[in-house]
Amino acid sequence: MTDTDVVHLRAGGTSLVLDVSGDRLPVVVHWGADLGEVGPSALSSLARAARPQRVSGGLDEPTRASLLPVESDGWQYEPGLSGSRAGGVDFSPRFTVLDRRNDERGMHVVAQDAKAGLTVTIEVALGVSGLLRQRLSLRNDHDTEYLVAALQATFPLPATARELLDTTGRHLKERSPQRQPFTVGEHVRASRRGRPGADATLLLFAGETGFGFRSGTVHGVHAAWSGNHRLSAVRTSTADAFVVAGELLAPGEGLLRAGETYTTPWLVGTWGEGLDEAAARIHDDLRARPTHPSSPRPVTLNTWEAVYFDHDLERLSALAAAAAEIGVERFVLDDGWFRHRRDDTAGLGDWFVDEGVWPDGLTPLIERVTALGLEFGLWVEPEMVNLDSDLARAHPEWILHPGERWPVSGRQQQVLDLAHPDAFAYLLERLDALLTENDIAYLKWDHNRDLLEAAHAASGRPAVHDTTTALYALLDELRRRHPGVEIESCASGGARVDLGILERTERIWVSDCIDPLERLDNQAYTNLLVPAEMMGQHVGAERSHSTGRTAPLAFQAAVALFGHFGIETDLTRLDEDARADLARWVALHKRHRALFHTGRSVHADPVDPSVDVRGVVADDGREAVFVLTQRTASTTLPVGRVVLPGLFSSTEYDVRILPPADLAGPGQSRLAWAAGGMPVGGAPAGGVPGDGSADGMTLTGRMLGVVGVEMPVLLPASAVVVELVARS
């Protein structure tokens, strides 16, 4: 091995060291903490030290996972490429590197098996934040067809990775965390729903035993793809550990004719000392994009849980007026505005304004909304169709189905074949016309069912890959024609959350469930991938539409505070006091919005599971806001101390509980830190000032992060907001 046989890529506190010796594909020696400036000789020694030893019962030439591990190299575990020609021919290619180019942030490798007629290209890139991206392409150079069963990127893990974390869920309860030991074997998370799905894990994490948000080295991998995908964590009997990631191809989807190429989506890897740092790499990478939303995220009112299908100009105008009074900046008309749409059984696909409900079009409502100073937004679900629609009756061939039968329906709807040229052209024309003819600043783009038997009607071949790429093309073209329009990705709530869709949208709807207790975990684990400014977080009715549980306004608003803030209830039914309280919360969000949407998300790892502590800390450490939540009753009272992590150690902070979140509960007494504490719902116990503004203290960031502060005594299912400002 020579000094030129090792490549060291560095960016954003991350080092990626690759052994590129010989003519085989590069092997990852190290992916993780920055190793600093290292000379060629030391890197060469590091690569030699990492080579496996020959063992009894093993191969004479021990192998390691390359960027594309294959059986011909002696790899006996999850392969990077699975495929063959008719009859199983060329199932085990042996690639030889033809070209390799690299700079300090990336590598481009081309390798070929001339006999098998296959050429593979591998792109590796480190982003500004140290985020690792891989993408692979396979070209069929032969005159016979080659069927790709799987093409996947491999992310090697350190020996310390001994525990796995992923998420699961369902509609109304996405992103529920689950942990397990990372033992020898394979842990697979796959989606066959035609979208990531409510039960999908956004990332598959492997880390030190007991890793949390604030501690423990952890690596995570994500598939930036809005269709079917697969993530697999593997530990082998030879002490290798890695995650493989890629698109999950249906039978026949990877068929390559002569000269054709299949390219994977970007597969993304992050790491950190704790989940917060791993998430920050993703957030920083997204925020560095030139297309990332940079203007203040408008406070949004969505009409769904306020009026459902009951569309009436005067009622909606009154709702818009009430929204403007409390500081709302965007008014979104949800489902029910288009032809034949009086309930959810008909009309999907007929994207024309319903003349019976809106005889003068949407213009009268839009003019009233914009005259109030609000942006106007509109709900659409372009990928779906009701069989009871003019579109389905006229063009059944535009609907995904395998032949003479319809797939099992979901939400009384089927799925359009966006890859059908005529269906694509129709949707583009209709959406373009709506945006051209109306003053619409925002589309809430929904996707309300999983895909089943998703086949092109004409051929019967599987279509998830094609419809996903067609969706991207449709969004890209609409954005080109209407660059000022923002788009939200909603999919029965949070069933399509991935970096592929986030390349083309400004917001995701985290969940159809707005119950704040359910939203705590949902938002925390969605935030591992999505920065706060792209997460739709709303205040709903006092009684939750989805759970039936009641929650006071203050608790709902505190839980929603950090995200793309909004409201999902009928404001005209609230009394004057309730609207005034909500206006104060809107003002609080706006006052700190710049911090929430540019700062670092932090989550404490409380000892008491009844407590939740999370916050946002400015990049320069000069300010922070935390929300302290009492989820349930604790086994002790008071709860004790909680730490506020992520602050600058030596900086002194003035700390205080902010109104309107400084009330103890039914008694509405003020909460404060003071000798004697605060009885639940009772009167101040220690001569605490009643204005909620003089109850602060001054502590260093290290004190707050190591020693902590006494948790205010709260009723279960309530929260307080804490502001920290650095002393000049």
Q: What is the pLDDT of residue 565?
A: 98
CA distance 559 to 537: 8
Mean pLDDT, residues 672-681:
46
Residue 728 in this model has a pLDDT that exceeds 90:
no
Residue 536: closest CA among 603, 595, 478, 491: 491
Q: Are strands 132-140 and 267-273 parallel, antiparallel or unpaired?
A: antiparallel
Name the strand (E) or helix (H) holding 174: strand 173-181
Contact 7, 45 (CB under 8 A): no
Residue 75: closest CA among 89, 95, 90, 56: 95
Residue 668 in this model has a pLDDT that exceeds 70:
no
Q: Is 592 helix (H, G, I), strand (E, B) or coil?
A: helix
Residue 665 in this model has a pLDDT that exceeds 80:
no
Residue 680 in this model has a pLDDT that exceeds 50:
no
Mean pLDDT, residues 175-203:
98
The per-residue DSSP string of 282-330 comes to HHHHHHTSTTS--SPPPPEEESHHHHTT---HHHHHHHHHHHHHTT--E
Mind listing the pLDDT tens digit for each residue in 278-335? 999 999 999 999 999 999 999 999 999 999 999 999 999 999 999 999 999 999 999 9
Q: What is the pLDDT of residue 685?
A: 32
Mind listing the pLDDT tens digit for each residue in 260-280? 999 999 999 999 999 999 999
CA distance 574 to 551: 15
Q: Is the peptide bond before 660 cis (omega within 30 degrees of 0)?
A: yes
Q: Nearest 5°: CA angle at 147, between 144 and 152?
A: 135
The per-residue DSSP string of 485-506 comes to -EEEE-BTTBS--SHHHHTS-S
Mean pLDDT, residues 410-434:
98
Q: What is the pLDDT of residue 671?
A: 75
Contact 514, 173 (CB under 8 A): no
CA distance 282 to 167: 18
Which amino acid is residue 650, in one-letter code? S
As a whole number, the mean pLDDT across the chain is 94
CA distance 251 to 453: 12
Name the strand (E) or helix (H) holding 134: strand 132-140
Where residue 689 falls among pLDDT bands split at 50, 70, 90?
A: very low
Mean pLDDT, residues 577-596:
97
Where residue 95 falls among pLDDT bands split at 50, 70, 90?
A: very high
Q: What is the pLDDT of residue 682?
A: 35
CA distance 645 to 626: 10
CB atoms near residue 632 (< 10 Å): 13
Residue 661 in this model has a pLDDT that exceeds 90:
no
Mind listing the pLDDT tens digit for each residue in 603-657? 999 899 999 999 999 999 999 999 999 999 999 999 999 999 999 999 999 999 9
The residue assigned the tokens 């989940």 is 275
Please state, for a pLDDT cut of 70, what percent of the chain lies above it.
95
Minimum mean pLDDT among 37-46, 194-203, 682-691: which range? 682-691
Active-site annotation holder among 446, 466, 498, 662: 446
Q: Are strands 300-302 and 330-333 parallel, antiparallel or unpaired?
A: parallel
Element counts in the chain: helices (H) and strands (E): 13, 38
Q: What is the pLDDT of residue 606?
A: 86
Minimum mean pLDDT among 208-217, 275-284, 532-541, 676-685: which range? 676-685
Which amino acid is residue 640, in one-letter code? G
Q: Is the peptide bond before 638 cis (omega within 30 degrees of 0)?
A: yes
CB atoms near residue 471 (< 10 Å): 25
Mind listing the pLDDT tens digit for each residue in 445-493? 999 999 999 999 999 999 999 999 999 999 999 999 999 999 999 999 9
Q: What is the pLDDT of residue 1?
A: 60
CA distance 661 to 581: 10
Structural domains of the chain sorted by starting position, each given as residue range(s) with its CATH number in brackets: 61-287 (2.70.98.60), 300-383+418-450+471-595 (3.20.20.70), 604-726 (2.60.40.1180)
Mean pLDDT, residues 514-528:
98
CA distance 588 to 578: 15
Contact 400, 414 (CB under 8 A): yes
* Catalytic-residue membership of 73: no
* Catalytic-residue membership of 446: yes
Active-site annotation holder among 73, 512, 581, 662: 512
Name the strand (E) or helix (H) holding 106: strand 106-113
Where residue 686 falls among pLDDT bands split at 50, 70, 90?
A: very low
Contact 49, 173 (CB under 8 A): no
Tokens of 503: 């390349």
Q: What is the pLDDT of residue 462?
A: 98
Q: Is 721 helix (H, G, I), strand (E, B) or coil?
A: strand
CA distance 510 to 526: 7
Residue 666 in this model has a pLDDT that exceeds 60:
no
